[in-house]
Amino acid sequence: MWQEFKKFAVKGNVIDLAVGVIIGGAFGKIVSSLVNDIIMPIFGVISGGIDLAEKSLTVGNAVIKYGAFIQSVIDFFIISFSIFIFIKLLQRRKAVEEQKPTAEPAPSKEELLLTEIRDLLKQQNQQR
């Protein structure tokens, strides 16, 4: 069982996934800061000083923080849009690289030798 786990954990896909999760977490923090520290204050100024994160509704003893929910939804859309743009740029770059003409690889020693033998055989057949 340990050997199977080691095979699974060391596979390239699992490591790539782990790196993606770590980078995604860091990216999420950046976007959350963008929303909390830049976008929402601007929204507050535009909306007449309303701090959306502090908006809540009290029902009995329960406090419903709908402002925080709206801010989380805005975070989600900004993160989703940013990832969408990033993926589109990567796909465009990959498509450009695939369209580049690839140079013909140099013939191997065997191919050169076979070509030489073929040419010699052609010359012998023409001389007859």
CATH number for the domain spanning 94: value is 1.10.1200.120
Instruction: Confirm whether 121 is domain-assigned.
Output: no
pTM for the whole structure? 0.51
91 has a pLDDT exceeding 70: yes
Q: How confident is the model at residue 64 (pLDDT cuts 50, 70, 90)?
A: very high
Q: Report how far residue 69's alpha carbon sits from residue 72's, in angstroms, rounded to the nearest whole number.
A: 5
Number of structural domains (the chain) is 1
Region 77-85 average pLDDT: 81
Q: Report how far residue 17's alpha carbon sits from residue 52's, in angstroms, rounded to the nearest whole number.
A: 35
Instruction: Confirm whether 37 is domain-assigned.
Output: yes
**Measuring CA to CA, which residue among 54, 29, 59 is closest to residue 40?**
54
Instruction: Confirm whether 107 is domain-assigned.
Output: no
Instruction: Confirm whether 122 is domain-assigned.
Output: no
Which of these ranges, 7-21, 59-73, 113-127, has the smallest mean pLDDT?
Answer: 7-21
Instruction: Confirm whether 127 is domain-assigned.
Output: no
Q: Domain containing 21: what range?
A: 2-102
> 31 exposed, middle or buried (CB, 10 Å; 0-12, 13-18, 19+)?
buried
Instruction: Confirm whether 108 is domain-assigned.
Output: no
